Amino acid sequence: MRIIETVWIPLSDGCRLAARVWLPDATTPVPAILEYLPYRRRDRHRGDDGVLHPGLAGCGYAVLRVDMRGAGDSDGVMNDEYTPQEWRDACEVIAWIAAQDWCSGNVGLIGISWIGFNALQIAALRPPALKAVVTACSTDDRYADDMHYMGGALLNDNLQYGATLFTWTPTPPDPAIVGDHWKAMWLERLNAMSLPSAARWMQHPRRDDY
């Protein structure tokens, strides 16, 4: 297979998302599998990616691991989980993948936890090229079955994971990938962190908030 360390996916508002791509040794276009999440493809998630995605590419799929807006080396900022912006970006990414000459036009979403959740949410928008979703540790009822509240009761995971996400989100991109403007990107992320994630989530304890 061929591995492309960094591919830039342009979005309609000028933002670019960073992706790592695994392409099988194929003579015709193939279906593509997308994993789309904020867990930094160049460091935090690299070990997992290095096992799963080559295996899928070896089975004949094109595989993409995309850092969401504001994460890893991608442009922009990420203000919360599962936002409409996150969904819109995903739909554009899927359309971009389907238009590549190595893709058959069919795209699947896979993932566990975060990408499991947003795969269901993105599928609900029915992007035309999305043909399959495989998720684990996810739900379509975030109020009753997520890690924030369980039937209205605050869970400790809300605080633990909220603190963890607060440390991941504003970390800088890799200067070797994004170039000299890495510091400006980092400052933009830091300035956007006006409220820790857990504090924001605790302000929204009702079902209609999710």
Q: What angle do CA 182, 4, 11 make, to 5 degrees?
A: 55
Mean pLDDT, residues 172-176 taken together: 95
Which CATH code for domain 2-209?
3.40.50.1820
- Residue 19: which pLDDT band, with cuts at 50, 70 and 90? very high
When the pLDDT of each residue in the chain is averaged and rounded to a whole number, the result is 93
pLDDT tens readout for residues 142-158: 888 888 888 778 899 98
Task: Tell me what percent of the residues of the chain surpass a pLDDT of 90.
Answer: 70
pLDDT tens readout for residues 88-101: 999 999 999 999 99
Strand order in 2-10's β-sheet? 2-10, 16-23, 62-67, 30-37, 103-112, 130-136
Find out whether 106 and 32 touch, Cβ atoms under 8 Å. Answer: yes
Tokens matching residue 8:
């830039």
